[in-house]
C-alpha cells in the first residue's frame, strides 16, 4: 500500500466523524434505527476501502470500491434526511454532506480509472 492514500485517510476520518455524530444523535434521542442506519453505512465506506486495498485482484479491488461508493451514497441519503427532518443542525449537516460528496467523487474517479486500466 502506498503512503498517504487519500481515500483511505478521508474515509477513515469520515467514519470517526460518523461515530461521533451517532453518539450525539443518540444523546438527542433521535430514533435508534435511523441512527444505526447512518452508523452502518457511514462506517462501511472506510471498511470497504480498506478491504479493497487488500483485495486479491483488480476485479476484487473494483468490487469493494463499488460497495464503498454505494454505501457513501446511502450515507448521503441519511444525512439529507436528518437535515431536512430538522434532526441535525443545518450547518453541521452541510459539512457532513460535503465530506460525503467529496468521498463519492474520489471513489467514482478511482473506480472509473481502474475500470479503464482493466481493458
Report d(CA 30, CA 24) in Å as an integer.
9
pLDDT band with cut points at 50, 70 and 90 for residue 4: confident
End-to-end CA distance of the chain: 23
Instruction: Specify the pTM.
Output: 0.92
Domain residue limits at 66: 6-116
**Contact 35/25 with Cβ under 8 angstroms?**
yes
Q: How many CA atoms lie within 13 A of 1 on its CB side?
A: 15
Q: What is the mean pLDDT of the chain?
A: 94
CA-angle at 51, arms to 16 and 17, nearest 5°: 10
What CATH number corresponds to the domain at position 53? 1.20.1440.60
Residue 1 lies in a domain: no
> Which runs of consecutive H residues, i.e. helices, occur in 28-118?
32-53, 58-84, 90-116
Distance of alpha carbon 72 from its chain centroid, rounded?
4
51 found inside a domain: yes
Please give the grid coordinates belonging to residue 23. 453518539
Residue 85: φ, ψ to 5°: -80, 5
Please count the structural domains in the chain. 1
pLDDT tens figures, 66-99? 999 999 999 999 999 999 999 999 999 999 999 9
Amino acid at each position: 500500500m502506498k503512503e498517504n492514500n487519500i481515500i483511505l485517510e478521508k474515509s477513515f476520518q469520515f467514519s470517526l466523524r460518523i461515530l461521533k455524530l451517532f453518539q450525539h444523535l443518540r444523546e438527542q434521542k433521535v430514533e435508534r434505527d435511523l441512527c444505526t442506519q447512518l452508523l452502518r453505512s457511514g462506517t462501511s465506506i472506510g471498511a470497504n476501502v480498506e478491504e479493497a486495498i487488500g483485495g486479491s485482484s483488480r476485479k476484487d479491488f473494483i468490487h469493494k470500491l463499488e460497495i464503498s461508493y454505494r454505501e457513501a451514497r446511502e450515507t448521503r441519503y441519511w444525512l439529507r434526511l436528518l437535515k431536512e427532518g430538522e434532526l441535525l443542525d443545518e450547518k453541521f449537516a452541510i459539512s457532513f454532506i460535503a465530506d460525503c460528496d467529496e468521498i463519492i467523487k474520489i471513489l467514482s474517479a478511482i473506480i472509473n480509472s481502474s475500470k479503464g486500466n482493466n481493458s
